[in-house]
Amino acid sequence: MNILPESLRLRMVVSHMAAISLTVAAVGVTLLVLGVSGTSLVVAVAATAAVGALGSVGASFLMVRSIAGPVHNVAEGARRLARGDLDHRVRSSSMRETRELNDAFNEMAVTLRDLVHGLDSERSLLAVVMETMADGVIVLDSDNRIRLINRAAQWLLDADIHSARGSTLAEIVRDHELLELASGSAAAGRIQRAEIELLHQRRFLHAIATPISAGPSRGVLLTLQDVTRLRQVQNTRREFVSNVSHELRTPLASVNAMVETLDGGAIYDTEVARDFLSRIHDDIGRMTTMVDELLELSSLESGQMPIHLAPVELSRVANKVTERFETNAASRGVKLLSLVPDDLPYLMADAGKLDQILTNLVENALKFTPQGGCVSLSARTVEAGIEIQVADTGVGVPREHLPHIFERFYKVDRSRRNVGTGLGLAITRRLVQAHGGNIKVSSVEGEGSVFTFNLSRAS
Ligand code: ADP
């Protein structure tokens, strides 16, 4: 196979012809100068020309061979580069012209390799960023097919990792708002945003659709941000404000009504006036308690309430609490027992806060246990530390309410307006959590409840 380009070969033939002609002319001139003529001159010229031509063709042949080898190497090298062998280099040649060619090829190969490696590492970095970012990213082509989808988007949309790529958006998303956002942005050619609630996944997403174009191809870039937590916080705050307003409005309205009645003349009826004043006093007391508990809960939730952990003997704290409620229990006809063993290991706790936890639980237990019932306080050593229980044989908590009773303002029987603020258990749970523990409840309606929490041992 002749791999020299046509123009190069032509140039070489022309230069060989010129060399032959020059040789012939030179021999002719020499013979003329020497005075040789006739047939012998023709023969001599022809012989000389033949010898010159043969020499010239031989030289050309050698030259072609010395060029063809390196050029062939370069061509083979180019093929290997094309196949991805970016470290391939051609051997340097001894001829100046082909050496330049080889060197240029090798320089190009180095540049190409660096370029490809640079692109590779940029692409890997981009892939890592896409896969680890918390926001979902989807790139759709003009047919609404998914060209690219990252892990976060698959997770947010509950999409199957294998089938998502290549599917249409409608095949993996049921939410019409999100579909409309993508198609609307493509049609309008501008960025569109929406807050979307995915009912199946129970998630709120902030979605942004941006039209994109790469050369002639068009598409949409969809970014999805999970705002579920933010929404929950907003909802909780809204509920909280509405709960506080509600809880305060009721006693305030009652106080207002009583003051108006007193003002309207009831103040002159000593008995009625005394009764009203006592009720006003109770309502104000309830509101004060609520405000105090709210402040306490708020400082617990913001982590601002200091907890001073130290070794604590549970039986001493438990006895103190039961003693405090002795009269209360007796007046209700409820038996109150402290069954905490004296030899229980010390626990790591803030004694004051532990007292508050037990007080809240015992107070509730007494409140919801009818006459003849029993409230007991017990503890035992478990693998995770010390498990403490406050059990009662009271009214119990209906099953559907159980998951909510540690929520702020939650009361099973809302009509029992005078019985507590609904903040006690929320505070109790926060206090237990501040010790690094957990609290749970088990209850059977009509049979009683058991509140169990655990704290760490001191050693
Ligand atoms: P409250 O100040 O109203 O007692 P809590 O947060 O302490 O508020 O309790 C929330 C609700 O949980 C109570 O209103 C009551 O319905 C229920 N509850 C709490 N402890 C008990 C218990 N030992 N037995 C039955 N119900 C209980």
Per-residue pLDDT tens digits for 51-104: 555 665 666 666 666 777 778 888 888 899 888 888 888 887 777 778 888 888
Instruction: Look at residue 37 and tell me whether its pLDDT is greater than 70.
Output: no
Task: Indicate the pLDDT class of residue 236, thresholds 50, 70 and 90.
Answer: confident
In 3D, which of 189, 188, 206 has the Cα closest to residue 197?
206
Mean pLDDT, rounded, for 230-257:
87
- Where is mean pLDDT largest: 22-31, 91-100, 207-216, 442-451? 442-451
Residue 48 in this model has a pLDDT that exceeds 60: no
pLDDT band at 415 (very low <50, low <70, confident <90, very high): low
Q: List 10's β-bridge partners, or say none.
A: none
Q: What percent of the chain has pLDDT over 90?
A: 51
CA 234 to centroid of ligand 1, rounded, Å: 26
Taking alpha carbons only, the member of 393, 399, 386 closest to residue 447 is 393
Task: Give the mutation target among 292, 359, 368, 430 for probing the ligand 1 site: most ligand atoms within 8 A of CB.
Answer: 368
Mean pLDDT across the chain, nearest whole number?
84
* Torsion sign, CA atoms 227, 233, 239, 245: negative
pLDDT band at 6 (very low <50, low <70, confident <90, very high): very low
Per CATH, domain 234-302 is 1.20.1070.10: no
| 339 touches 319 (CB < 8 A) | no
d(CA 356, CA 371): 25
Q: What's the CATH number for 310-455?
A: 3.30.565.10
DSSP 349-407: E-HHHHHHHHHHHHHHHHHT--TT-EEEEEEEEETTEEEEEEEE-SS---GGGGGGTTS
Q: Which region among 61-70, 129-138, 430-439 has the lowest average model confidence (pLDDT)?
A: 61-70
Residue 39 predicted with pLDDT over 90: no
Residues 6+ apart with CB under 8 A from 291: none
Instruction: Quote the pLDDT of residue 319.
Output: 94
Check residue 240 and give its pLDDT.
82
If pLDDT is split at 50, 70 and 90, which confidence band does 46 have?
low
Ligand 1 atom with the smallest distance to the CA of 411 is 14
Q: DSSP letter at 4?
A: S
CA of 425 to the centre of ligand 1 (A): 7
Give dist(CA 317, CA 354) in Å, integer. Answer: 8
* Residue nearest atom 23 in ligand 1 by C-alpha distance: 365
pLDDT recorded at residue 239: 81
The Cα–Cα gap between 242 and 228 comes to 21
Place of tokens 């993996």: 172
Q: Amino acid identity, residue 88?
A: H
Q: Is 104 helix (H, G, I), strand (E, B) or coil?
A: helix
Residue type at 216?
P
Atom of ligand 1 nearest to the CA of 406: 6
pLDDT for residue 432 is more than 50: yes
- Residue 279 is predicted with a pLDDT of 93
C-alpha 413/C-alpha 417 separation (Å) is 8
Buried/exposed code over 221-234 (b: 16+ C-beta within 10 A; e: otherwise): bbbbbbbeeebeee
For the four alpha carbons of 381, 386, 390 and 391, in that order, the dihedral sign comes to negative
- The whole-number pLDDT of residue 59 equals 64
Report the alpha-carbon distance of residue 358 to residue 361 in Å, rounded. 5
**Regarding beta strands 374-382 and 335-338, do their DSSP bridges make them parallel or antiparallel, or are they unpaired?**
parallel
Q: What is the mean pLDDT of residues 408-434?
A: 81
What is the 8-class DSSP label of residue 320? H
Mean pLDDT, residues 314-336: 95
How confident is residue 367, by pLDDT bands cut at 50, 70 and 90? very high
- Select the more confidently predicted residue: 393 or 43: 393
* Residue 131 binned pLDDT confidence (cut-offs 50, 70, 90): confident
Q: Which two tokens stand for residue 450?
A: 């058991």
Structural domain spans, the chain: 6-115, 133-226, 234-302, 310-455
What is the pLDDT, as a whole number, of residue 255?
94
Beta-carbon contacts of 77 under 8 Å, excluding residues fewer than 6 positions away, are 88, 89, 90, 105, 109
Atom number, ligand 1, closest to the C-alpha of residue 427:
6
Dihedral sign of CA atoms 348, 352, 353, 358 in order: positive
Atom of ligand 1 nearest to the CA of 360: 7
Model confidence pLDDT, tens digit, residues 383-395? 889 999 999 999 9
User: Stretch 302-315: mean pLDDT, rounded?
Assistant: 90
Residue 410 CA to its chain's centroid (Å): 32
User: Among 374, 375, 411, 445, which is best to mutate for testing ligand 1, by the most ligand atoms less than 8 A from CB?
Assistant: 411
pLDDT value for 36: 46
Q: Is the model's pTM score more than 0.85?
A: no
Rounded distance from Cα 427 to ligand 1 centre (Å):
12
Ligand 1 neighbours by CB, cut-off 6 Å:
364-365, 368, 392, 394-397, 405, 410-413, 419-426, 449
- Give the residue with greater pLDDT, 247 vs 197: 197
Superfamily of domain 133-226: PAS domain (3.30.450.20)
Confidence of residue 7 (pLDDT cuts 50, 70, 90): very low
